[in-house]
Every structure is written in structure tokens, then in C-alpha cells.
Structure 1
Amino acid sequence: MRSTLFSRRAALVLSFSVLATGLTACGDDDPVAPPALTITETAAGSAQLSTLVSALTAAGLTQTLNGTGPFTVFAPVNSAFSALPADVVQRLLETGNRSILTKVLTFHVVPGRITASQLQNGQTLTTVEGTTLPVTVANGVVTVGGARVTTPDISASNGVVHLIDGVLLGSMDIVDNAIVRGFSSLVSAVTTAGLGTALRGGNLTVFAPTNAAFAAIPGGAPTTAAALTPVLQLHVVGTRALSSQLTNGQILNTLLTGSNLTVGLTSGVRVTGPKNFATVTAANIVAKNGVIHVIDTVLLP
């Protein structure tokens, strides 16, 4: 009997030994699938996302998108960045504008893993930046914030990436837009007058004079807060008005008490103030808190 038990034990040990050897052999012969790449690594490996990777690096967000997540990233392809004015992209990547760039990039990121099949028409997504993104689904085409999803559901270890054909700028307020679009004289005047906070809130329309317009002010541009404040207030309307909402002869109430602007549409778009008028040269730069219309002359109170 002891001999029989010994034989059975020996056979059992031998069986485990053979099984272990077989498993080891399988492990050596069959390649093991590498772990999925993170979102940052996925973007870095795509030739279509090199500009986005440069932006993430400039904003110091590469490690964030290497993190646990999960995240859903709507990733603008290189051609989306190329569609923006080159000087806008250049200013976004400048060190001094890192906070604006971070605001723009985190507007493309939504917490959680959301696949294309989970996106629904009329849905709103709350981004990491805090502003919401509207979703439209029509005839099989998905758009977020006005940009079309061109390649959905690129899986990553910490989320999912959807390629889009536009850069989403809806998180930038009026002051951010003025900075990245090169309205340096206007930004300087707003800073001197202490109106930055006011122009980052509300729902406003700003008629923004170009740098050349400030340079052309008779006698030179004002330099003190007391002198600049009424000038700037004359350029701000307390409600959002796209160019399509302007009518000929319309009166716009400005933030300068007692002073209004009159809209003229007989020869382009013109706004007339107490002392002079200006022509709109570029309309409908939409911001988070309103809209900007570029004008060629500084209006004087």
C-alpha cells in the first residue's frame, strides 16, 4: 500500500512538473501584448498630433495626461492648428501665456472615459477647465464645440482620444482673446485702467481698436487710468451682440454712463460715438463671456 501511495505521489509531482514546463514554454514562445499607451504616449506616437504634443509640453500637461485618469480627450489634429492665424498659435505657446494655453487645452479634456457611442445629440460635457462643451450628432457626424470628430475611439490605458478638425477656443474670455490676437495696446490700456476683471466677466460686446488705431489717436493715447477708463467703457456694451443681431440705426448702451453708440449698416458696419465713428474690420470673435468686433478707430467720449 505504501508503495502504491508513493507511486501516485510521484505521478502527481511529475504531472505538475510537466504542466509547469509546458506553461513556461508557452510563455517563451508566445509574445505578450505590451501594456496600452497613455494618452500622452498615444499622442506622441501620432504624426497628426505633433502640434498638440508641443502645446501640452509648453503647458506642462504631459504628466497630467500620463496620470491615472480616466480622461476623454478631443484632440485637434495638426491641420486644425494650422487653420488658426499663425501669430495666435505662436502667442499661445509663449511662456507668458501659459495660463491661457492651459485653459485652452483643458477645455479639450473631459473627466471619464466616453466613447463615441456614448455621445448624444444635445448633450453637454463638463470639461476639466470647467466650461461645458455642446455635442451635436446628425447624420452620423459628431461635433463637439463646433469641431467635427474625424477619428473616434483611440483607446489609451488611461482613457480615450477622439481626433477633431478644429481647435476649441471657447474657454478664452475677452481679455484672453485680446492677448493672443495681438491687441497689445488695448490690453495695456485695460491693465492701466484696472478693467481686466470687468472684461473677464459678464456677457459683453467689445469694439476692440487695433494697435494702429491707438497709435493714431490725435495727441497720443491717454496714459492714466482716469483718462483711459471712460474711453474704454465707451467701447463696451453690456450685452452680447453678434454682427447678425445689429440693425441699422440701432442704439447700443455702453458701460460709459450717458454715452451710447449708434450702428450704421449702409456702408459696411459702422459704430458712431459722441465725437467720432469707427468701421468694423473683423466681426464675431466669440469669447467665453461675449464677442469682440475689431474696429479701425478709437472712439472718443
Structure 2
Amino acid sequence: MISHDLHALGFDAPDLDTLVNSVAEAGAVGVEDVGGFDLLAAFTDPSGARLALMKQKGHDEMETMASLVAPTTHPADLVRFSSAVALVDIYSHASLASILTGDSVLKLPTANRKHLARFLANVDDPVEIPLCPEPGDDTPRFVENLRVGAVANQMLRVFESEDDYGRSHEGSLGSELQFAAGTLISPWLMEINAGRATRREASAVAEMTMVCKRVERRTNALTGVDWYRIVGDTSIPMTLAVPADLPRAPHEGSVVTGQVVPVVSTGTWEGDALWG
């Protein structure tokens, strides 16, 4: 049985070895011996679903990562805690300052950016991000247009509207207190901050509540299996992959909630050249 995150992208197969062989034959691209990896590769399906393949130096097993081509991008600082898990700080896009230069007005980005969100995420092109496994040596990389998405890691719950979510047991504490629909929380980040976990132990698994703004049913061309690509709002706009066999179909205005894995990409796999 394939894992739920791969199923959320339509990457269904009898087992993981069969899937890896299929994407290799279908044209996965990558490089060997780069940035602490014996192999770093990815297959991007025409539907926008992506499977990243990683083999760390000194490890025998091939690791897989469910990812996707996310149209939602944000300015961000990133520090990598382990082979593929990074701390992500999201900022607002820079506002513009006007400077009078002769007869024209030059528009320049201001230095001040508003911090919008912080969470842990898997990075599908991790060698682009500096590895800082211990506190004190953090050297973040700034990415102007970081692709930001998430993949369902369990069967998500779907509410018809924000009002329905607010009236639910999950979205309220009695009749007086309702929780806003639109959150992303990294439990492992809280564990690290409390000193109960190390950076190397951290997982990117998060709890999400998203308000759907656009819902598209897509077909994974490799497998023929459908999945939903949702663009919506959490604490920030982002893109979410969920399986097409949800008990209730998501739609514009609905709320989806549950466990996900945030995944980000600097855009390497959309580029024309890889490392080296």
C-alpha cells in the first residue's frame, strides 16, 4: 500500500519500489554526488505532482518525498535542520519606495518586510539551502519567490463553509469561542523551542486548516489517478494536494483541515540546469 502523501498526488502503485522504477523509466532527472547526497533526483508529472528521490551519503536506502509544483510563492528565509527538513520564515512582498531621479520616478523595494509565518517544511531541492543542524550556526538563505505548498498526510476533513467549520466541535469551544479557519501549526517546531527535541529529530508534519479559494481536479498522467490541487489560505496563501477519494469533495469556499506535510521548492526542478 502506498503512503497517504503519495496517494494525495495520485502516485498510486502496488509498492514503493514499483513507483520508483516507474518514475525512473518515465524520465526522472537528477545528479549524483551533490551536497551530501549520493543521488538527488525528481520526477514532475504533467499534472504538477512531483516525486523527489534522495539517497544520503552513508545510507543504503533511497528516500522519497511527495512534492508538487505550487503556483503560490513568497519571499522567505530558510535554514535546513536535517537532510530535507528546513525552518521557513515567510515575509510579505516588499513595498515600493519612490525616488525622484531627474525627470523620472524610480521604484525601489524597501528594506522592511513584514514577517507572516514560521513553520517546518520538506525541501524538494535541499542542497540549495544551507545545512545548520545545531543552534548558533544559522546562516539562512533568502529566496525571493519560494514555492510553498503542502501534501495531505491523512484523510482530511472537509466543511462546506467557514460558518460550518466555526459551528463544529473542531472549530469552536462551545458557543462563545470560535477558531478562525486558516492556520498552519508545526508541532515539532514547538518541541524544538521547548527543548524537548533536537533539530535532527524534527519532522515537517503540521496541522492545517485551509479556506479553499480555487479547487482543481487533476489526473496524474503517470498513473491515471485523480487528485485535487487546492489553492487557499492558511496563515498565508499556499497550494495543497489532497486525494480525489475524500468522503466529501472540496470546493471554493469550503474548509479542509487535518494533518499535512508542508513542502517548499526554490525552483530547481523547473530550471534548465541542475547542479554541476
Task: Please tell me the TM-score bracket, short chain as reference.
Answer: under 0.3
TM-score after normalising by structure 2: 0.21
Which protein has greater RCO, CA pairs closer than 8 Å, 6+ apart? 2
TM-score after normalising by structure 1: 0.20
Give the number of the structure whose alpha-carbon radius of gyration is greater.
1
- Of Structure 1 and Structure 2, the greater strand share is in 2
- Of Structure 1 and Structure 2, the greater helix share is in 1
